[in-house]
Amino acid sequence: GENVEQHPSTLSVQEGDSAVIKCTYSDSASNYFPWYKQELGKRPQLIIDIRSNVGEKKDQRIAVTLNKTAKHFSLHITETQPEDSAVYFCAASIVSGGGADGLTFGKGTHLIIQP
Amino acid sequence: DAMVIQNPRYQVTQFGKPVTLSCSQTLNHNVMYWYQQKSSQAPKLLFHYYDKDFNNEADTPDNFQSRRPNTSFCFLDIRSPGLGDAAMYLCATSGYSQETQYFGPGTRLLVL
């Protein structure tokens, strides 16, 4: 089955700086890669996602890059703000005509924004 | 508003006493998922349904069962909860040929 590795486990950055979180996956059949933000006691919230036919996607301060050959994808957050502090999970799944298989998550990155 | 609803939000059960968690959705999505998230860990897929087609993960314990009587509802049954089953249980849904999974608020299970 799929295995997703995520690094680092904890990331502390100064407010206004950029943060980068990296993930690798093992199953070349995976074709969908979402990133979730989870605050304590709350449900995971999708912040950005990318399909395997796209190399990069951006949404305001958040961007994701995908390297299919190397089987890795990264989350980039620019101009970090205190409200960006949370746990971030990367995930991978296979999407077909019938729908999406379940997500395999990385272990998570605790992002801390220092004021 | 269309959404994924989980009841109850908090569930306390006794060691070995069967418990059922429920999930309902108004999105008319064909795929429903159950994830287990233990404290400070990532969500882990237990099983999912494509319509009525049940897909069990290889490492999901037999103690966990699921039912999906119709499109809108899905249940997670824990036959004999152990202390190690204390966790947040998250239900999610997605639609035909769609990748986005919509998570419910979760049910936090405590086993005494």
The amino acid present at A43, given as its one-letter code, is R
Is the Cβ pair B41, A108 closer than 8 Å?
Answer: yes
* Cβ separation A102–B48 shorter than 8 A: yes
pLDDT per residue as tens digits for the range A6-30 = 999 999 999 999 999 999 999 999 9
Residue in B closest to A33 by C-alpha: B99
Contact between residue A10 and residue A19 where contact means Cβ atoms under 8 Å apart: no
Name the amino acid, one letter, at A99.
G
End-to-end CA distance of chain B: 36
Distance from the Cα of A90 to chain B's closest Cα (Å) equals 10
Read off the pLDDT of residues A57-97 as tens digits, 9 standing for 90 and up.
999 999 999 999 999 999 999 999 999 999 999 999 998 87
Residues 6+ apart with CB under 8 A from B105: A42, A43, B4, B5, B6, B9
Q: Which of A35, A39, A32 is nearest to B106 (CA)?
A: A39
User: How far apart are the C-alpha atoms of A86 and B22, rounded to whole Å?
Assistant: 27
Query: Mutate which of B55, B89, B91, B99 to test chain A, going by most A C-beta atoms within 10 A?
Result: B99
Can you give the pLDDT at residue B2?
60
The answer to whether residues A15 and A113 touch, using CB atoms and an 8 Å cutoff, is yes
**B54 lies within 8 A of chain A by CB:** no
Q: Verify whether the Cβ–Cβ distance A106 to B42 is below 8 Å.
A: yes
Residue B97 has pLDDT above 80, yes or no: no
Q: Do A44 and B31 touch (CB under 8 A)?
A: no
Task: Kindly give, in sequence order, each residue whose CB lies less than 8 Å from that of residue A95, ignoring residues fewer than 6 positions away.
Answer: A31, A32, A51, A101, B97, B98, B99
pLDDT tens by residue, B9-65: 999 999 999 999 999 999 999 999 999 999 999 999 999 999 999 999 989 999 999
Decide if B57 touches A, using CB distance below 8 A: yes
Cα–Cα distance, A16 to A34 (Å, whole number): 24
What is each CA distance from B5 to A41, B17, B33, B50, B93, in whole angstroms?
Answer: 16, 24, 13, 19, 11
A100–B98: do the CB atoms touch at under 8 Å? Answer: yes
CB contact under 8 A, B103 and A102: no
Q: With an 8 Å Cβ cutoff, are B96 and A95 in contact? A: no
Does B35 lie at the interface with A, CB-CB under 8 angstroms?
yes
Block residue for tokens 């409200």: A83
* Chain B residue at shortest CA distance from A92: B99
What's the rounded mean pLDDT across residues A36-59? 94
